[in-house]
Structure formats: structure tokens, C-alpha cells
């Protein structure tokens, strides 16, 4: 198919598709002549993934390029490929090491991981960006005086572990390893938005039951 066709099928303007090609977010087309290339269903699938990461997941182009490079890295096994891809995803702010709350948060995060070692022992090492994001969040809770010991955090950790099973089960519905990694990354980014979108009205409903009419 011509370059315009993946754009038409995906709803992405041709100019945007050309930009993704220049930024190496899409693989080059199959060369037909010196001035023409052809594109296939793989380009269409990748174009949709790129748009989901950038437009819906608000991922910077540089981060999306790094994630997609990991997806395509055949030198890595499936576990390493997925680990590199997920680690390349945008994360929250780094912990403020000058804050006294950060030291407390590190101890709390370490204890939380110890109690949930079955789920997070290898995935949330203390050198990972995700661990830093966890520490920063707990430190903010501690600084504000909100509950931030392991008791209120445990249910969140347990639910996260269950959601990880669901995500990877869905990703494994794809036959090709690279597609599985791409799906796992997309699900990580997009299902976080689904979770946030569901949590807010759920808390509003629970508030209504507790403090409102309950209707």
C-alpha cells in the first residue's frame, strides 16, 4: 500500500506519518523504486501503536523511540526485552534526597517489597525508576501526614500484581514475541489510564454511599 493508505486506515494525517518515519518510530517502507516505497499491515499496526503511546499515553517521542527499539531488539530474550521496554517508559519525579521524608519512604518501600517479594522481587529493584517513583510518592504522603506505612499500601501492591497477570495474559494472545512485548507496553500505558478513569468515579460513588444519600 502507498504511504497515504496506513494514514487513512489509522486516521493519522499523512504528514504525521512522515514525521514518525523521520523520527524512526516507524520502520522504513519496502523500496519499490528510487522514489517510491510500499507499506504493509505491520506499518499500520505500528502506526496505531505509536499514536496510542504519544497521543493517549502522552509519551515523549524520544521515549517512544527507545521503547520501540527495545521491542525490536532480537538480541534480547523475551524477559529482557520487556524489562528494557517498560523501564524506558516515562516515570514520575525522582525522590528528593534532601527531604527527611525520603529516608522514611525508602524504609517503607523496602518493607513493602519484602512483604510482597513473591510479586515484586525482581521487577521492582531499588535501582529501578519505578522504585524511585514509589519512594517519591510515599515520601509525599509522609510529608503531608497521610497514612503511608505498609498497611494501606499492601492492598495497592496486591491489586497491581493481579493486574499484571491480566495484562500479560492479554499480551500473550499475540503469536509473535515482538508483538507480545509491544502489546504489554501498550497495555501498561493505556490500562493505567483505564485504572485512573475507573478509580475516580468509584471513589465518588463510595463517598456518596458514606456521606450522601446513597442513591
- Residue 151 — pLDDT band, cuts 50, 70, 90? very high
| β-bridge partners, 38 | 30
Looking at residue 172, its pLDDT comes to: 92
**Structure confidence at residue 37 (pLDDT):** 82
Q: Where in the chain is CATH 1.10.1660.10?
A: 4-87
Q: How far apart, in whole angstroms, are the C-alpha atoms of residue 45 and residue 26? A: 10
Q: Please write the tens of the pLDDT for every residue from 38-50.
A: 888 888 888 888 8
> Which of 1.10.1660.10, 3.30.365.10, 3.40.50.2000, 1.10.357.10 would CATH assign to domain 4-87?
1.10.1660.10
* Model confidence pLDDT, tens digit, residues 64-94: 888 888 878 888 888 888 888 777 777 788 8
Rounded Cα distance, 70 and 88, in Å: 9
**Each residue of 91-141: pLDDT tens digit?**
788 899 999 999 999 999 999 988 888 887 655 666 678 889 999 999 999
50, HSE (Cβ side, Cα atoms, 13 Å) = 28
Q: Give the pLDDT confidence score for residue 214 in this predicted structure.
A: 58
Mean pLDDT, range 143-164, rounded to an integer: 93
Contact 122, 107 (CB under 8 A): no
pLDDT band at 152 (very low <50, low <70, confident <90, very high): very high
215 vs 106 pLDDT, higher one: 106
pLDDT of residue 29: 80
**Which tens digits make up the pLDDT trace of 1-52?**
677 777 777 788 888 888 888 998 888 888 887 777 888 888 888 888 888 8
User: All 3 cell numbers of residue 83?
Assistant: 524489562
Q: What does the alpha-carbon distance between residue 17 and residue 182 come to, in Å, rounded to a whole number?
A: 19
- The per-residue pLDDT of the chain, averaged, comes to 86
SS3 state of residue 176? coil
Other CB atoms within 10 A of residue 47 CB: 23
Amino acid at each position: 500500500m502507498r504511504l497515504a493508505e496506513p494514514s487513512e486506515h489509522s486516521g493519522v494525517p499523512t504528514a504525521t506519518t512522515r514525521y514518525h518515519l523521520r523520527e524512526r518510530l516507524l520502520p522504513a517502507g519496502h523500496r519499490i523504486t528510487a522514489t517510491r516505497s510500499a507499506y504493509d499491515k505491520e506499518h499500520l499496526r505500528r502506526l496505531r501503536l505509536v499514536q496510542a503511546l504519544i497521543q493517549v499515553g502522552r509519551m515523549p517521542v524520544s521515549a517512544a523511540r527507545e521503547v520501540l527499539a527495545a521491542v525490536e531488539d532480537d538480541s534480547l530474550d523475551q524477559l529482557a526485552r520487556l524489562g528494557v521496554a517498560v523501564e524506558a517508559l516515562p516515570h514520575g519525579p525522582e525522590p528528593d534526597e534532601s527531604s527527611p521524608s525520603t529516608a522514611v519512604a525508602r524504609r517503607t518501600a523496602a518493607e513493602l517489597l519484602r512483604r510482597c517479594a513473591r510479586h515484586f522481587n525482581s521487577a521492582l529493584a531499588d535501582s529501578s525508576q519505578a522504585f524511585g517513583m514509589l519512594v517519591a510518592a510515599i515520601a509525599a504522603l509522609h510529608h503531608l501526614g497521610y497514612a503511608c506505612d505498609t498497611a494501606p499500601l499492601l492492598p495497592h501492591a496486591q491489586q497491581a500484581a493481579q493486574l499484571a497477570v491480566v495484562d500479560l495474559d492479554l499480551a500473550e494472545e499475540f503469536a509473535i514475541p515482538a508483538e507480545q512485548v509491544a502489546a504489554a507496553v501498550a497495555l501498561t500505558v493505556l490500562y493505567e489510564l483505564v485504572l485512573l478513569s475507573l478509580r475516580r468515579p468509584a471513589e465518588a460513588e463510595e463517598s456518596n454511599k458514606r456521606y450522601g444519600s446513597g442513591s
